[in-house]
Chain A
Amino acid sequence: MRTSDLPASISLWRKIVNKLMTILVIVAVILAVIPLLLILGDVVIRGAPALSLGFLIHSLPTSTKGLSGGIGPAIVGSFTMVGIAALISVPIGVGAGIFFSEWASSRLSTISGFMNDVLTGFPSIVIGLFVFVIIVLPTKQSSAFAGGVALSFVMLPIIARTTGESLKLVPMTLREASMALGIPRWKTVIRIVISTGKRGLLTGILLAVARATGETAPILLTASTSIYFAKSIFQPTASLTVFIYNYGTSGSASWQTEAWGAALVLILIMLGLNLLVKLTIGRNPIGARMEL
């Protein structure tokens, strides 16, 4: 093939196809982003009127039109239940993740890893129903505790998987370097492996927290609802998501506005958590792959 055989420029047809494909993918991206923008816009517009300091802190009726409430109890309730869930799921999840990583070749690891991944995608209402049956029915009591337990089932598989994958990324040569210094295996795992992979662990925990904060069904069935600040974790407790459900489906227009206000607050909390995740990802690619 001689130089004179090469076309002088790309044919017109190829140019048209190039341009067309470029336009098509740009349109696809815009279409993909539109729903998010519409929802965000809607929430901001409808929810902003409800926002005020009193709305955020108080629980007592804020209008004379009958019982309506600030979302103070809901915010505290959500944080409490996610907190209880974290207390349960973080130690167990990190421990399971360590097993997935350090005993990766064992059969138990493969089997339990598969079961873990199944639990990740489990319908959360089924989890809620399960906890309802094992905790709420016997105690005849809806509670933040039950809600926390239900949310821990949601968080646990996420933390276990992200911990496992993050620790697997720590190069084998670092473990060998530590063991070659005469450091026993357990110390190597805790002081070297976890320390090197801690960014990934943090990312996974934050992702799990973000997921749990947005859950409705599990806590609807276990913590029920309340308009007051809970005095203990063993009584019905308010939460942002259930608040949105109750007040949003009510007949009253002012209650619906408050539901939008709660939705706005929830979205802002989620955005904040996701920003934190982006900050902790930093040089760690695992978080980016595990975003749910």
Chain B
Amino acid sequence: MLGGTLKISKHKNLDLSSVKLATKDLKAQFGKAQVLKGINLNFPENKVTAIMGPSGCGKTTLIRCLNRIHELTPNAKVEGEVILDGVNIYSPQVDPVVVRRRIGMVFQKANPFPTMSIFDNAVAGLKLAGVRDKEKLDSVAEKSLRMAFLWDEVKDDLKKSGVNLSGGQQQRLCIARALAVEPEVVLMDEPCSALDPLATAKIEESIVALKKEFTIIIVTHNMQQAARISDFTAFMYLGQLIEFDTTSEVFENPKSELTEKYITGKFG
């Protein structure tokens, strides 16, 4: 039985007015299993926050609650609040469709739409929402493909099918697709876990560049990745938040024994 007390460090320099997204006593269930046991977390604006922890700690469920995708799974239940710019996105007056336009998501395995070309995939969010203006679509496609560091590789092949790209390119296409609808927050669920180191490096490069315009929340089981690209890190274990602080503090000066054990590889 692993010991360690639950300690949440009060970060002195975290200005609360710069919090973009926050959870308040967030609980989630899958059928009978209580996957999230009351999470209180603040995600700073225009920063990269990594959520890490061993398998089964609830990090994927947490991120799926942030854009109300978790509730689409049968037998899933969510309690508590998720607050975006002061508004609880789970209140009954809020339309989940609108929430998902403001909080975008990139999935663990790249999922470009197989019936669409690269161009159509990139602007899918706009096209499906009814945008027809060709100039606008062209400029948005180029902008988001550039932001995902994919433009140079595909600019001559935009009409080709989206699924004929390599795994890393497909994932960057999915990132471009998510960015094209101009969300404020981008959620990433282990986006590099199925990719080789070269592809991973390219995506990490783009993530660091993206935080100027977006708030990024990335789930990762790769500690080194969290250390490389994130400004803040949250460590979770068995459905609870164990520690949250700037990345350097968490890795160099962990307050909780559990965190220390995880970081030093004593379990994982």
Q: Which residues of A approach B to under 8 Å, CB–CB?
A: 105, 171, 173-184, 187, 191-192, 195-196
Contacts and interface: CB of A to CB of B under 8 A. Distances in A.
B77 interface: no
A183 B128 contact: yes
A181 B124 contact: yes
A182 B97 contact: yes
Interface string B104-145: 110101010111000000001100110000000000000000
Given A173-B107, A181-B101, A195 B177 contact: no
A183 B69 contact: no
B100 interface: yes
Interface of chain A, helix or strand or loop or mixed? helix
12 contacts: A176-B105, A178-B113, A179-B72, A180-B69, A180-B100, A180-B178, A181-B124, A181-B181, A182-B97, A182-B99, A182-B181, A195-B115
A183 B111 contact: no
Contacts of B104: 180-181
A182 B113 CA distance: 15
B107 A177 contact: yes
Nearest to A194: B115
A202 to B, nearest CB: 14
Contacts of B101: 181-182
Contacts of A177: 107, 111, 113, 174, 177
**Sorted from nearest, which 9 A-B pairs have the closest CB atoms?**
A182-B101, A181-B125, A180-B105, A182-B100, A173-B111, A177-B111, A105-B74, A183-B128, A195-B115
Interface of B: 67, 69, 72, 74, 97-102, 104-105, 107, 109, 111, 113-115, 124-125, 128-129, 174, 177-178, 181
A175 B114 CA distance: 12
Given A176-B72, A177-B107, A196-B113, A183 B129 contact: yes
Nearest to B109: A173
Of A105, A171, A180, A184, chain B has the most CB atoms within 10 Å of the CB of: A180
A174 B97 CA distance: 16
B93 to A, nearest CB: 17
Nearest to A195: B115
Contacts of A176: 69, 72, 105, 107, 111
Contacts of B178: 180-181
